[in-house]
Structure formats: C-alpha cells, structure tokens
Copies of this chain bind each other. A is one copy, B any other.
Amino acid sequence: MKPTLARGLDEASLQDLADLFQHLSDPRRLRLLLILSKGEHAVGELSAALGVTISAVSHQLQTLRQARLVACRREGKRILYHLDDVHVEQLVRMGREHVEE
C-alpha cells in the first residue's frame, strides 16, 4: 500500500478535503460544474439547462463560490460564472473513470 498517503493530514485538512468532495457529491452541482467546464454561463442559462429555479441555482453557486470552485463576473445585467479551480475537472474526470468501469 501507500504509506505516504495519510502522512501530514491533520483534522483540519481532512475537513477541508471532505468539504471539497461534499461540493462534488450532488448530481445537480456536478452537472453545473460540467457545464461550466466548457465555458462561462449566466445564472438564467444554468437554471434553464438544469431545470431548477433561478433561486436554487443561485444558492448553489454561492456555495460553490465560497468553496472557490467557481467565480463570476458581471456583464451588464447578467452575471457570468466560470470554473475557478484547475483540480475540479481532473477530479470529475477521475471519478468518471471509476464510475464507468
């Protein structure tokens, strides 16, 4: 096995890591992130694409934003969201490999 894996992981880091996975643990959020992995989109577009209310998407986006997984910029009336993390796509891709086996 790999002894290096657990070394240097204190409770706080473990909590942070768990939090990261927590954000990836919902199919709607995952879909959201997959969509954003292809380019930035406004809240209304995401709402339509996911089939949930604008408010619900907005709440999810705030959560993802606090976790620094997404970021946004205003363009006129609209607010465009995009991925803000290089690891997210990797994580999703890796998880996908697992699931597809």
Q: Which residues of A contact B (CB under 8 A)?
A: 1-3, 5-6, 9, 11, 13-22, 24-27, 29-31, 34-35, 37-39, 41, 45, 48-49, 83, 85, 87-100
Instruction: List chain B residues, Cβ under 8 A from A100.
Output: 13
A15 to B26, CA, bound (A): 7
Total copies of the chain: 2
Task: Decide: A5 and B85 in contact? CB cutoff 8 A.
Answer: no
A5 to B35, CA, bound (A): 6
Task: Decide: A96 and B18 in contact? CB cutoff 8 A.
Answer: no
Select from chain B the residue with minimum beta-carbon distance to A18.
B27
Instruction: List chain B residues, Cβ under 8 A from A25.
Output: 18-19, 21-22, 24-25
Of the candidates B5, B90, B92, the one whose C-beta lies within 8 Å of that of A49 is B5
